Structure 1
Amino acid sequence: MKSTAATLKQIRQHYRISQAQLAKLLNTSVRTVQHWEQADYQPSGAAVRLIQILAADDAVFPALTQFKEDDQIMYLEHDDQKLTIMDVPFRNRKEYRATLNAIISNMYEGFEPTKRDIEDASRFYEDGPISAQEMLATIQASADRKAE
């Protein structure tokens, strides 16, 4: 198993970022990153999880770097116990989790889901896939509603 110091260096080399850029991603100081890379001490808490995720998943880096400090925090109303997203119920945990993950992934790209979007996603499991024409009509209707 690779040391944390080696992992941090590998992350920086892989993404071609400086210690200062990594410190900003991890919400810590440059000096702290230097200490971690020199194995003076180990990261803890949320920093450990972020380091693990950055090392394991290339999709995380662009998602983290797109946020500015003044950006609002993204949140999608959901209830893991009731299996609801924006108060829209799902039939089972598998459908609920798949939909939640897909929507959150798209939120990183700027998608702002509405309750109707969630209802459409839920209907997919009951009615099956929609045609390209139906999808285009839905997208157009959504764009029209947002323009109003």
Structure 2
Amino acid sequence: MSRTAQNIKFIRQHYGISQRRLASLLNVSVRTVQHWEQADYAPSGPAVKLIQLLANNDAVFTELISIEEDEAIMYLAHDDQAFTIMGVPFRNEEEYRSSLNAIINNMYEGFEPTVDDIKMSQEFYTKGPLSAEEILKRVRARNAVPNK
């Protein structure tokens, strides 16, 4: 069993919480926690740091509970098995993980992604980087008020 899987089991036992509760605190699916706990695959991005902090600091658990109760955590619909974010498929795990991490990190700063934003991220891998003009064109189109 991997060290991470051991840490996740320890965290759940130490705080007396279910996989569902831990998933809620980490803002991931229950299935993701199950995969981590079974060492099917390892967590990535911010989840790694949160797991390390939870395993070593009870104050982090208390803080996560208070944030959760404030409903301040946004959830980003994603599927670690199918490599999709908000239903948008990515070609491989590397493209999926790098986009997921970038989007989640921006969400901590208040960014609320749309499906179009996810598609733009996915297009980076299939069509190359967008020009600043193309990005601005898309933002303006999204913000435009439709004519009636």
Counting matched residue pairs gives 89
Change (3 A) 1:48 1:118: same
- AA matched with 2:107: M
Change (3 A) 1:94 1:45: closer
Cα displacement (A) at 1:116: 1.1
Aligned equivalents of 1:96 and 1:49: distance in 2? Answer: 31
Unaligned runs of 5+ in 2: 1-51
Cα displacement (A) at 1:136: 1.0
Matched, 1:46 2:54: yes
Alignment of 1:13-52 (within 5 A): 46=54, 48=56
Change (3 A) 1:81 1:132: same
Q: Secondary structure at the match of 2:74?
A: coil
**Relative contact order (alpha carbons < 8 A, sep ≥ 6): 1 or 2 greater?**
2
TM-score, normalized by length of structure 1? Answer: 0.51
Cα displacement (A) at 1:132: 1.2
RMSD over aligned Cα, in angstroms? 3.0
Matched, 1:84 2:84: yes
Aligned equivalents of 1:120 and 1:82: distance in 2? Answer: 18
Match of 1:129 in 2: 129
Match of 2:72 in 1: 72
Matched, 1:116 2:124: no
Computing the radius of gyration from Cα coordinates, the structure with the larger value is: 1
Change (3 A) 1:139 1:49: farther
Match of 1:15 in 2: none
Change (3 A) 1:115 1:136: same
Aligned equivalents of 2:85 and 2:121: distance in 1? Answer: 10
Percent of aligned positions with the same letter in both sequences? Answer: 54
Cα displacement (A) at 1:144: 3.5
Offset from partner CA, 1:85-123 (integer Å, 9 cap, x none)? 001100000000000000001001111001111111111
Q: Secondary structure at the match of 1:136?
A: helix
Match of 1:143 in 2: 143
Aligned equivalents of 1:50 and 1:98: distance in 2? Answer: 30
Cα displacement (A) at 1:135: 1.2
Q: Which runs of 4+ in 1 moved over 4 A?
A: 49-52
Q: Secondary structure at the match of 1:101?
A: helix
Match of 2:7 in 1: none
- AA matched with 1:123: E
